[in-house]
Amino acid sequence: MELIRKIKHAESEARQIIEQSGKQAAGLAEKGRTDRADALEQAEAERKTAIESAIALGQSQGQAEAETLKAEAAASSQQLRQKAQEKIPAAVAKVMEYLKG
């Protein structure tokens, strides 16, 4: 009788150990899934941040380049206008000379 009781007790303990092991394995698997999901979410957030930073940098660099080009165009236009202004008196003199005949 005592032996049967010990066997039943050992079987009961074995079942409990198996159940606990199953629960622990399920818990570890769930933790692994959660950790992977968290890592994926964090990676996605970092990717979005990197994209937004790259876009902002591109916009600021594009704006700076546009301003530089505008300044160069204005300077070039000013130079052309100045050269034309320098030639106007000579052209007027030639026209007046031609008209006087």
User: Would you state the pLDDT for residue 74?
Assistant: 95
Total residues found in the chain within this entry: 101
* Cα diameter, the chain: 147
Q: Which two tokens stand for residue 48?
A: 């979005």
Q: What's the count of helices (H) and strands (E) in the chain, helices before strands?
A: 1, 0
User: Would you state the pLDDT for residue 101?
Assistant: 74
User: Would you state the pLDDT for residue 73?
Assistant: 95
Place of tokens 């005949």: 101
| Structural domains counted in the chain | 1
pLDDT for 52 beyond 90: yes
Q: How far is 3 from 16, CA to CA, in rounded Å? A: 20
Name the average pLDDT for the chain. 92
User: Would you state the pLDDT for residue 5?
Assistant: 86
Range of the structural domain that residue 16 is part of: 1-101
Rounded mean pLDDT of 7-27?
Answer: 89
